[in-house]
Structure 1
Amino acid sequence: MAATRQGRGPVWAQIADELRARITDGTLAPDSQLPTEAELTARHGVARATVRQALTALVNEGLIVPRAPRGYFVRHRQPLFYRPQQEFRPQPETPEMDRFMMEHSAEGREPRQDIEVSIVDPPADVKKRLKLGDGELAAVRRRVRYLDGEPFNTNDSYFPLSMVQNTEIMRPADIARGANEVLAEAGYPQVRLLDEIYVRMPSPDEIQRLKLAPGTPVSCHICTGVCPDGTPVRVVVNILPGDRHVIVYERNGMNAADR
């Protein structure tokens, strides 16, 4: 097969298109091995560099993964169903497992999380949402959540330090009953939530924490919790890699009067 094919775009893109189609239609199943670089080079009559360009494009799309020295394999996608609307459902009773860990242990997947707690001068957008003044600090609980050893998302929760400095929120461990309940016990119940969802490319810090492949977009879900008097008491920043999540909302059907 010739190295150039008139009217069909670059040869590396054509090779990528062919492999992508075979992955999409199931001919190449999850975890199956792609033809080797040598096999693709011979099949298409091109230089190995051209084949590598095609394979790199598919890696960047999250369709395949390299497993040295064996070659390239179709990525086994098992997305996490992320449900923002279930934020305030009851916590699991098992102390060592939060909602995330309980759900996905039940699915037969192995969950874990890393938790760090620190006192910070928060980013400007978080400070604005929390309505903190100059010099006011925040406590942040930074979490990376894993499934089957792969980092799936980050969950960074910011609180005005003056509200939480003598609570469990300052301890780098899971809170069995949940940080929302701790806030309520401290006199700051949340009665209203503002959800914002942005889709963008990740920051360098997000790439490092989540081990993202080049070209992977993320959804950024920011949730601000507000007390009855309108005081914001919590800002949570969730970073969800686009190749690992499905965002699911459940809503009631409209009444005739709402149509």
Structure 2
Amino acid sequence: MPVTRLGRGPKYQQIADALRGQIEDGTLGPDAKLPTEAELQAEYAASRETVRKAVGLLVSEGLVISARPQGHFVRRRQPMVFRPQAEFRKRPYTPEMDAFMTEYSAEGREPRQEIEVSIVEPPAEVAKRLHLEPGQLTAVRKRLRYLDGEPFNINDSYYPLELVRESEIMRPEDIARGANEVLAELGYRQVRALDELYAKMPTPDWTRRLELVPGTPVIYYITTGFTDAGQPVRVVQNVLPGDRHVISYERRREAESSES
């Protein structure tokens, strides 16, 4: 590749790198308007098509948003901190709001979620984790969570239908004390969870539900909850867009036992 004052690689990539650098160092701050196409053409001696390709790359990375006809703006990024270790903590939440609603309302943000409940034949990966036989059905609570009007993540929970058929889990509304507590009241308290995290590209369904721009990767975080007897009773599929989340794990070193 030819070498230019911008560095190596195709011209559109060089322009995108330069603009990305300005975003990262704060020269172009949140909500700042990018130079117009004409200004970028003049500054980088590039064609209109090349400039559009460079800006499109930044849009696909989630760094820039298009607000036609005003132009392109640096995206104000306020990622959601996702804490898997908080699932089994005590929940002193209000009757009106569950964990998600309570936590992010306290941060001054505007959370909301859409909940759908249905009875389905589970995906193969869910049936496998729940140790279900062919033909056994699950209840699924599908939740699409929003922050400040933007869809932030998917949280779909599957339960063996025979365990939860007559419970609150079947209602499409918030459960303030948490579905885990409902399971415990039914005699299936979860005491252990297996977490699996995968980095991947989204499915068409995830792209549609989360309104993702092309090229946005996601973290697919799947959790299986077990009772003390080792029975799997819940599988949760979380889909976390990479441009909207920070996953925070808290770890504590256990005290070392001294030998006499």
TM class by shorter-chain length?
over 0.9
TM-aligned CA deviation for residue 257 of structure 1: 5.9
TM-aligned CA deviation for residue 255 of structure 1: 3.9
Alignment of 1:151-190 (within 5 A): 151-190=151-190
The count of corresponding residues between Structure 1 and Structure 2 is 256
Any idea what the Cα deviations from partners look like across 1:177-226, whole Å, max 9, x if unmatched?
Answer: 11111111111111211111111111110011111111111111111111
- 2:226 equivalent to 1:210: no
State the superposition RMSD in angstroms. 1.7
TM-aligned CA deviation for residue 253 of structure 1: 2.5
The answer as to whether partners of 1:92 and 1:98 remain within 8 angstroms in 2 is no
Amino acid at match of 1:33: K
Question: Which residue in 2 is equivalent to 1:119?
Answer: 119
TM-aligned CA deviation for residue 125 of structure 1: 0.4
Alignment of 1:1-259 (within 5 A): 5=4, 8-256=8-256
- SS at the partner of 1:132? coil
The answer as to whether partners of 1:4 and 1:11 remain within 8 angstroms in 2 is no
When residues 40 and 191 of structure 1 are mapped into structure 2, their CA distance, relative to the original with a 3 A threshold, is same
User: Which aligned runs of 4 or more in structure 1 are off by greater than 4 angstroms?
Assistant: none
Amino acid at match of 1:13: Q
Amino acid at match of 1:23: I
The answer as to whether partners of 1:92 and 1:102 remain within 8 angstroms in 2 is no
Distance 1:167 1:256 in 2: 43
Amino acid at match of 2:88: F
Distance 1:99 1:48 in 2: 48
Task: Decide which moves more: 7-16 or 118-127.
Answer: 7-16
TM-aligned CA deviation for residue 8 of structure 1: 2.4
Gaps of 5+ in 2: none
- TM score, norm. by length of structure 1: 0.95
TM-aligned CA deviation for residue 254 of structure 1: 4.7
The answer as to whether partners of 2:93 and 2:99 remain within 8 angstroms in 1 is no
- SS at the partner of 1:182? helix
- TM score, norm. by length of structure 2: 0.94
- SS at the partner of 1:105? helix
The answer as to whether partners of 2:223 and 2:236 remain within 8 angstroms in 1 is yes
TM-aligned CA deviation for residue 94 of structure 1: 1.6
- SS at the partner of 2:38? helix
Gaps of 5+ in 1: none
Distance 1:152 1:92 in 2: 24
- SS at the partner of 1:191? strand
- SS at the partner of 2:8? coil
Distance 2:3 2:224 in 1: 54
> Percent of aligned positions with the same letter in both sequences?
63
